[in-house]
Chains A and B, each alone.
Chain A
Amino acid sequence: MHAQIIPIDGVVRDAPPASPAPAAPAGPAVAHEPAPAAPKRQPNRERNRRVALTLLLPMLTFLGVLALWSGLRATVAPELPTPTETWDHARTVLADPFYENGPNDMGIGWQLLYSLARVAAGFGLAALVGIPLGFLMGRSANMQRAFEPLIQILRPVSPLAWLPIGLLVFKAVDPSAIFVIFITCIWPMILNTAAGVKAIPQDYLNVAAVLKLGRVEMMRRILFPATLPYVVTGMRLSLGVAWMVIVAAEMLTGGIGIGFWVWDEWNNLYVPSIILAIVLIGGVGIALDLIMGAIQSRLDYTKR
């Protein structure tokens, strides 16, 4: 008798409706109730309004900034270029971003790519060191005790303070800049990874224990996937800061790179370039963050 009821019924009753299964968001279910045509159009219009405001309000803000800029130029800061001057300059610079007239005169695209390459190198090295160290600290109380004070002391220090040490040790500017980025990136990576390992629910560890997973399997099947969202968050944070720090570091080290380009243009007293650089650096920063955000939401099992 059971056998006839349960297979059909048991499955049906378990199925999503009554339960808070994340796969079926609450939104549509609510929308069903005030069914008729009139209320259904309402949300649509509401949405259009929201989209319009989302586009319009930031444009107003940007216009406000342009107005402020023009106003400042007209009154207290006549050295500033006008927005039109800057725009014209931007068009010539961006028209040929990858020209090469010897090592001291390269397109803006090259400048950005050189900076990105330094960030990538420092970021990658920091991941290689920081993530394993974070795992060790998360797993072992003694590792935590051993490293925590050191990290807490060094973490608030501006990474640029390490630049002289880098120059001293490496006796070259490029490795020094990469070293600064490495220092920038490593703290958030260590701390987030360690936090992620410590946040693994005891349940998962019990599952691993009952299955008698070995060390490697435990790492591969439980610890690593469970911690991954935290690791990526740490990487995202550190990449954001690294992109800020590289500009300052390159101003000090020189060479090809967007930071030194800004400094060079300042020495030429060519301000439109600096304004253009600010906008470009911001754009690249957004792009980096979007990429990391996409990776993050792909890997975060709690959001699926």
Chain B
Amino acid sequence: MKAYLDLEAIGIVFPTARGPFRALQDINLKVNQGEFISLIGHSGCGKSTVLNIVAGLLDATEGLCLLKDKEVKGPGPDRAVVFQNHSLLPWLTVYQNVRLGVDKVMADKPKTERHDWVLHNLKLVHMEHAAEKRPGEISGGMKQRVGIARALAMQPDVLLMDEPFGALDALTRAHLQDSVMEIQAELGNTVLMITHDVDEAVLLSDRIVMMTNGPAATIGEILAVDLPRPRDRLQLAHEPRYHALRSQVLEFLYNRQMRPKEAA
């Protein structure tokens, strides 16, 4: 089967003052349409670099990134990004922030349709009540919801999320994770998410891509999460399979990647 999103032997070398630095090496990943993939690894392992390459914000020095059989060249709204720190434009209202992307992607559609589409997406993340607020007037969790709405509203082929819940408190994070699961179940988005949270990865993903430590980080292992959907975090807590998957990820991260020398 042909992959929807295909990373082939991706590598990247950054020039630095002390000579070239190899951040990524030989990343191979095939993502199917509608799949939810998490990239997990210790900080500094280059997971965000992978995401930025797919987003087109960085150019890989080696390898190929194909989306629907076409090479990814530069950024574009077909690969919308939910940034870690929401990146809403503070001078625009919530509505205008989402509208900015919609105007770009749906330029050929009439204004009323674009307006309705913005509201529809704000409703999806339960933020329609704050449409006229500015980012400075809403909480961190609400900002991230708007960031997700902005990305969803672009109807991207792949939704890229860079530690989308990293800056949020635990309760807010749980609610947003549930919202994302719900939305993904409804829309069937293909999602590539960066995380360093094991529970989040197991809860949300179809597959977890575990990365080795840098420099020259690569994919260590890929774990298929065969938990049935819809998933409920409270029920999963009593599910042996959930704990088994969870400990597999922990095992990888803490036994094999924390002390790479001993493991080898």
Contacts and interface: CB of A to CB of B under 8 A. Distances in A.
B169 interface: yes
A211 B134 contact: no
Given A23-B133, A301-B91, 10 more contacts: A2-B178, A6-B182, A10-B175, A11-B129, A14-B142, A16-B138, A21-B139, A23-B138, A201-B87, A222-B89
The 10 closest A-B pairs by CB, nearest first: A19-B139, A14-B141, A203-B87, A23-B137, A10-B175, A209-B75, A301-B91, A225-B91, A301-B90, A11-B126
B83 A203 contact: yes
Contacts of A211: 77, 100-101, 104, 154
Interface residues of B, number: 45
Interface residues of A, number: 36
B184 interface: no
17 contacts: A6-B126, A6-B182, A9-B175, A10-B179, A11-B126, A18-B139, A203-B87, A206-B57, A207-B89, A210-B76, A210-B79, A211-B154, A212-B75, A221-B89, A301-B91, A301-B134, A304-B90
The interface centre, meaning the residue of B77, B80, B141, B230 with most chain A CB atoms within 10 A of its CB, is B141
Contacts of B178: 2, 5-6, 10
A47 interface: no
Interface in B167-205: 169, 171-172, 175-176, 178-179, 181-182
Interface in A9-36: 9-11, 13-16, 18-19, 21-23
B81 interface: yes
Nearest to A224: B91
Nearest to A7: B126
Contacts of A9: 175
B232 interface: yes
Contacts of B83: 203, 206-207
Interface of A: 1-3, 5-7, 9-11, 13-16, 18-19, 21-23, 201, 203-204, 206-207, 209-213, 221-222, 225-226, 228, 301-302, 304
Given A14-B172, A206-B81, A19 B75 contact: no
Contact of B87 (A2, A204, A228): A204
Contacts of A6: 126, 175, 178-179, 182
Nearest to B83: A203
B70 to A, nearest CB: 15
Nearest to A210: B75
A1 B136 contact: no
Contacts of A15: 139, 142
B33 interface: no
A126 B91 CA distance: 26
Given A2-B181, A206-B57, A209-B57, A301 B136 contact: yes
B55 interface: yes
Chain A contact residues, majority secondary structure? helix
A247 B75 CA distance: 54
B145 A221 contact: no
B85 interface: yes
B230 A226 contact: no
Interface string B66-103: 00000000111101110101010111100000001100
Contacts of B230: 2
A20 to B, nearest CB: 8
A207 B87 contact: yes
Interface string B94-137: 00000011001000000000000000000000110100011011
A120 to B, nearest CB: 27
Contacts of A206: 57, 75, 81, 83, 87
B63 interface: no
Contacts of B91: 225-226, 228, 301
Nearest to A2: B178
B214 interface: no
B146 to A, nearest CB: 11
A210 B81 contact: yes
B204 to A, nearest CB: 13
Contacts of A10: 126, 175-176, 178-179
A16 to B, nearest CB: 5
A11 to B, nearest CB: 5
B126 A210 contact: no
A204 B129 CA distance: 25
A2 B232 contact: yes
Contacts of B126: 6-7, 10-11
B34 interface: no
Interface in B34-72: 55-57
A304 B129 contact: no
B140 interface: yes
B180 to A, nearest CB: 10
A212 to B, nearest CB: 6
Interface in B151-166: 154
A2 B175 CA distance: 10
A21 B136 CA distance: 7
A112 B39 CA distance: 67
